[in-house]
């Protein structure tokens, strides 16, 4: 059986990655992928059911891992005592930990660069095309829970709204993945993300703590 021939799956995935990177999901050809892998389209359907299944095989592990990190990061912060949560952006220990986490995220993305390149630039026509919306919702949920946990008056005072929170989260996520869209090196991405982080921290701090200058 074709799906038991040693090396076929690996060759299919490599050829699929190159085809998707070159032409995007919508314009990629399963026939071309199969021919370059030395097999037939039927072997692709046997393994992955359809073209999106093949695309998912290339990106899903990296995607789920990134989402998991984001959820875990919020959970770890939101389980801190209320008084510690209130020190957001004014806690040296938190800042050091957050910066370390940002470096971890950069390494995570660049160690899986092709998968994220496929998601960011080549996923039109797949469920991954909504990656910004998905990640923004995770970020927004974490921020809303922070506001509730700490009885912060950002929303009740009118300094923020649910719509603004979501738009800012969406802008942050989009900004984060510009490192992929602009083909930045790991070093360029690190400098850029630290600047982006500082910009958004200042804005969120003004919303959450306008009394602190």
Q: For 124-145, what is each residue's pLDDT tens digit?
A: 999 999 999 999 999 999 999 9
Residue 6 pLDDT level (bands cut at 50, 70, 90): low
The H helix count followed by the E strand count for the chain is: 11, 0
Nearest of 123, 81, 109 to residue 178 by alpha carbon? 109
pLDDT in tens, 63-103: 999 999 999 999 998 998 888 888 888 878 777 877 888 88
Residues 79 and 36: beta-carbon distance below 8 Å: no
In the predicted structure, residue 35 carries a pLDDT above the cut 90? yes
The predicted pLDDT at position 85 comes to 87
**Per-residue pLDDT at 5:** 63
CA angle 35, 41, 45 (to 5 degrees): 145
Query: Is there a contact between 41 and 31 (Cβ–Cβ < 8 Å)?
Result: yes
Q: How many residues in the chain?
A: 213
The packing angle between helices 8-27 and 41-48, to 10°, is 90
Q: When comparing pLDDT for 167 and 213, which is higher?
A: 167
Maximum alpha-carbon separation in the chain: 69
Measured between alpha carbons, how far is 163 from 33 in angstroms, rounded to an integer?
A: 43
pTM of full prediction above 0.85: yes
| 200, two tokens | 């958004």
Q: What percent of the chain has pLDDT over 70?
A: 96
Q: What is the pLDDT of residue 151?
A: 95
Q: Which residue has the higher pLDDT, 99 or 201?
A: 201
* Mean per-residue pLDDT over the chain, rounded: 92
Rounded average pLDDT over 181-190: 95
Q: What is the pLDDT of residue 213?
A: 56
Helix (H, G, I), strand (E, B) or coil at 112: coil
* pLDDT at residue 1 is higher than 80: no
């Amino acid at each position: 059986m074709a799906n038991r021939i040693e090396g076929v799956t690996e060759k299919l995935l490599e050829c699929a990655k190159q085809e998707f990177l070159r032409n995007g999901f919508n314009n990629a050809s399963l026939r071309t992928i199969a021919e370059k892998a030395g097999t037939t389209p039927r072997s692709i359907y046997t393994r992955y059911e359809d073209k999106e299944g093949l695309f998912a095989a290339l990106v899903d592990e990296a995607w789920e891992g990134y989402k998991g990190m984001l959820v875990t990061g919020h959970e770890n912060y939101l389980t801190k005592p209320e008084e510690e949560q209130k020190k957001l952006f004014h806690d040296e220990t938190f800042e050091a930990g957050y910066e370390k986490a940002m470096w971890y995220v950069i390494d995570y993305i660049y160690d899986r660069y092709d998968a994220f390149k496929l998601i960011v630039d080549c996923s039109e026509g797949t469920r991954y095309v909504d990656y910004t919306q998905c990640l923004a919702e995770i970020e927004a949920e974490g921020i809303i829970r922070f506001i509730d946990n700490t009885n912060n008056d950002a929303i009740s005072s009118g300094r923020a709204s649910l719509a603004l929170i979501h738009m800012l989260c969406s802008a942050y996520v989009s900004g984060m993945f510009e490192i992929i869209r602009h083909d930045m090196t790991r070093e360029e991405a690190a400098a850029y993300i630290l600047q982006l982080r500082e910009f958004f921290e200042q804005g969120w701090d003004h919303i959450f703590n306008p009394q602190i200058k």
